[in-house]
Amino acid sequence: MPAAVPSPGPQTPQAYDTEFTLQLEKLRELLGTYLKTEDIERVAAAFLFSAEAHRGQFRISGDPYFSHPLAVTGILTGWHLDAQALMAALLHDVAEDTEITLAEIGEKFGKVTAELVDGVSKLDKIEFQSIEDAQAENFRKMLLAMARDVRVILIKLADRLHNMRTLDTLRPDKRRRIARETLEIYAPIANRLGLNNLYRELQELAFRHVYPMRYRVLAKAIKAARGNRREVVSKILQAIKARMNEATIEAEVMGREKHLFGIYRKMRGKSLSFSQVLDIYGFRVIVKDVPTCYLALGALHSLYKPVPGKFKDYLAIPKGNGYQSLHTTLIGPFGTPVEVQIRTTEMHHVAEAGVASHWLYKDDKSLSELQQRTHKWLQSLLELQSASGDSAEFLEHLKIDLFPGEVYVFTPKGKILPLPRGSTAVDFAYAVHTDIGNRCVACRINHELMPLRTELRNGDQVEIITAAHANPNPAWLSYVKTGKARSQIRHFLKTMQHEESAALGERLLAQALRPFEFTEGITDAVWDKFVLECGAKSKKEVLTDIGLGKRLPAIVARRLAAGIEMGEMTGEPKPQGPILIRGTEGMAVQLAHCCRPIPGDPIVGIIKKGQGLVVHLADCPSITLRGRGERAKWVDVEWERDSGRLFEVAIKIEAENRRGVLAKIAAEISEAGSNIQHVTMDDEHGIYTSLYFTLQVSNRVHLARILRALRHIPEVVRISRVRE
């Protein structure tokens, strides 16, 4: 929302008061159609309070600033919002742009009104590192307030609509930024809440400012085509009305020109020129009830031939925002595609006003399901918020989640779940329940076992197979589509990493403390003092930081030792013992990919910031090249005997290029008790070829046994272990 600016010139108090007195009378008249007298008086009091607070403030256009909250209130009265929302709309900039506080607003107009104003207000008084961080945090605050009360977003959308209508007075760069923000966030939110008219207008206004040249060219082309196609549209309209009369179906039939942004999106999505987009006109048939919708569909299909695969039944399976209609595409006169939507009057109300129909049509009983859907989506925002690490991540997940579902899949019990196009079985698992997603190991799609990364299609029946000890796989992040799945996977991995890092940090600190022998353990008092001095929140945070390489264990050990009285230390310093590596520690301990160490290899550990302990071969070139500066981060490590897990190792085999050699090598590897994880070969046609295997071995002795077996193959010339 544009900030208030100083007066561009003198304005008499009388002119100001006269202008807004007339506006107040108009508002009273409008509110009299649906509000009680006492509510109208409360709104009038907020009107006068806000007008006085904004006196002397002007918009960049030169209009009195109060004209903006008044226009926002006018938009909300069109949706018949209640008195609290209208008061909040009138006061929504008072707390930001004047000396009046939220506490004063709450005292004068009620706690609920003040909370609505707070939900819409920006976080101007908090310093952020960048504009992007501030924007992300503002969206997060607004959307969480919206999850508590949907009126917050209705006020914000009305605010954005008026700002978009008056965007021409701003600088071009600011216009583009606000328009792009509208296109990416506000228009999709309007769509998600079923506010179809608002959604279309926001898209059109944003399109005009983000791509001004494209908008002008397309508008000119539409204007030229309008005259050429008017006769065809009129002919189709008359034909549809005549067919409805013949079938004795009472129907309201209307034609509409598609919006510029919709045409532009279709041209871009399908790489079409404007002349190839034939269906720039659509038609609506509005009837009395659901059975009549299907009768009307049959009548239309007998009038014009339907295009196969272009029929969608949103009556049986409504969209996520509550939208219901029958969609069909017909081949009209001269081969022109004709898109027709068939719906009832109640469905038409929902399609145009969405969640705002709760206020606009209070007697409409069919809206209860829509309200439940909206409430469910708003609650999912709270889940995203709790799982997201920061505002930017929350905004990223929200953007993914805002685009409406286009794929409808079934659970084994027949329940329908809408998901975004491109969703996988993992997305489905998280949509059912977070625990199902975290524990899934496989899936059946239409009763057949399929990979978890399989993209779902309309009508698929999906069954998720879970295991009690399964955990999310980081690789899932590369193909999940929904914000919920992405945020829950990241949340789980972060939690696991912190738990494992804390355990590793404890081991590293214990190793660093071994030069000292304490008659008693480090007391809570010593830990509390250290935690306070270093600015950490808890002992666990310190241990996690050690495990993640953010703190050096030797320094922490010295500071802890300094906090213990000398009388508690006895004996000579004991030598530091090595940390034992099992290979099963998880994300806190990683085996370096550059040298792929396995049990039996001489190893060294390095604490890397943000990664924890990374284990390398002692002679790995990547650590010897770093020099003495890295030595302080080296940790003495040893392999634990019989860890019981398999480790990956890469080998290169040079062999004669003969038929059957690969089969012989694979047989020997299998005979030696190893699995082949991956195999590639050089694309050469000479006498010899190079084969690269990634094998699973238990230790260095196991690898030596495999290599001995491979050397007995006559065609094998040379074998070596690969280190990147």
In a domain, 587, yes or no: yes
In a domain, 575, yes or no: yes
Report residue 253: phi and psi, to 5°: -115, 130
pLDDT tens per residue across span 669-683: 988 888 888 888 876
Judged against a pLDDT cut of 70, whether residue 664 lies above it is answered with yes
Same domain, 618 and 666: no
Same domain, 154 and 196: yes
What is the band of 148 on the pLDDT scale with cuts at 50, 70, 90?
Answer: confident
Closest CA to 502 of 580, 577, 588: 588
In a domain, 402, yes or no: no
Least confident of 68-77, 295-304, 373-382, 692-701: 373-382
Same domain, 185 and 230: no
- Supply the pLDDT for residue 286: 93
Last residue of a domain, one of 620, 639, 658: 639
Same domain, 670 and 715: yes
Same domain, 74 and 198: yes
In a domain, 583, yes or no: yes
User: 17-20: long-range contacts (C-beta < 8 A, 24 or more apart)?
Assistant: 19/64, 20/47, 20/51, 20/64, 20/66, 20/70
Q: Which residues are catalytic?
A: 96-97
Same domain, 236 and 327: yes
In this structure, what CATH number is given to the domain that contains residue 113?
A: 1.10.3210.10
- 579-581 vs 637-639, strand pairing mode: parallel
Judged against a pLDDT cut of 70, whether residue 6 lies above it is answered with no
pLDDT tens per residue across span 63-104: 888 889 999 999 998 888 889 989 999 998 888 888 888 888
> In 3-state terms, what secondary structure has residue 219?
helix
Mean pLDDT on 711-716: 90
Least confident of 178-182, 434-438, 557-561: 557-561
Least confident of 119-133, 197-211, 238-252, 517-531: 119-133
- 462-466 vs 440-445, strand pairing mode: antiparallel
Interatomic CA distance for residues 286 and 253, integer angstroms: 7
Mean pLDDT on 125-139: 57
In a domain, 253, yes or no: yes
User: 521-527: long-range contacts (C-beta < 8 A, 24 or more apart)?
Assistant: 522/560, 522/564, 523/564, 526/560, 526/563, 526/564, 527/560
Interatomic CA distance for residues 483 and 278, integer angstroms: 35
When the pLDDT of each residue in the chain is averaged and rounded to a whole number, the result is: 79
Interatomic CA distance for residues 508 and 61, integer angstroms: 64
Q: Are 210 and 183 in contact (CB under 8 A)?
A: yes
Last residue of a domain, one of 362, 379, 398: 362
Same domain, 620 and 684: no
What is the band of 7 on the pLDDT scale with cuts at 50, 70, 90?
Answer: very low
Q: Are 186 and 164 in contact (CB under 8 A)?
A: no
pLDDT tens per residue across span 180-211: 888 888 888 888 787 888 889 999 999 999 99
Mean pLDDT on 206-234: 82
What is the band of 706 on the pLDDT scale with cuts at 50, 70, 90?
Answer: very high
Mean pLDDT on 104-125: 80
In a domain, 53, yes or no: yes
Between the alpha carbon of residue 543 and those of residues 501, 510, 583, the distances in Å are 7, 11, 20
Interatomic CA distance for residues 122 and 94, integer angstroms: 12
Domain holding 161, by residue range, is: 5-210
Mean pLDDT on 146-171: 85
- Supply the pLDDT for residue 193: 80
In this structure, what CATH number is given to the domain that contains residue 691?
A: 3.30.70.260
Last residue of a domain, one of 362, 387, 422: 362
Count of domains in the chain? 4
Same domain, 124 and 154: yes
Least confident of 312-316, 629-633, 688-692: 629-633
- Supply the pLDDT for residue 519: 47
- Supply the pLDDT for residue 301: 92
Same domain, 509 and 593: yes
Same domain, 600 and 664: no
- Higher-pLDDT residue of 309 and 578 is 309
Mean pLDDT on 138-162: 79
Mean pLDDT on 446-469: 88
- Supply the pLDDT for residue 681: 83
Same domain, 551 and 599: yes
Place of tokens 């770093």: 626
Interatomic CA distance for residues 625 and 528, integer angstroms: 40
Report residue 440: phi and psi, to 5°: -75, 140
pLDDT tens per residue across span 335-387: 777 889 999 988 888 787 776 666 665 555 455 566 666 666 666 666 666 55
Same domain, 652 and 630: no
- Higher-pLDDT residue of 384 and 718 is 718
Q: Are 461 and 410 in contact (CB under 8 A)?
A: yes
- Supply the pLDDT for residue 227: 65
Q: Which residues pair with 651 in a beta bridge?
A: 693, 721
Q: Are 601 and 543 in contact (CB under 8 A)?
A: no
In a domain, 475, yes or no: no
Judged against a pLDDT cut of 60, whether residue 627 lies above it is answered with no
In a domain, 452, yes or no: no
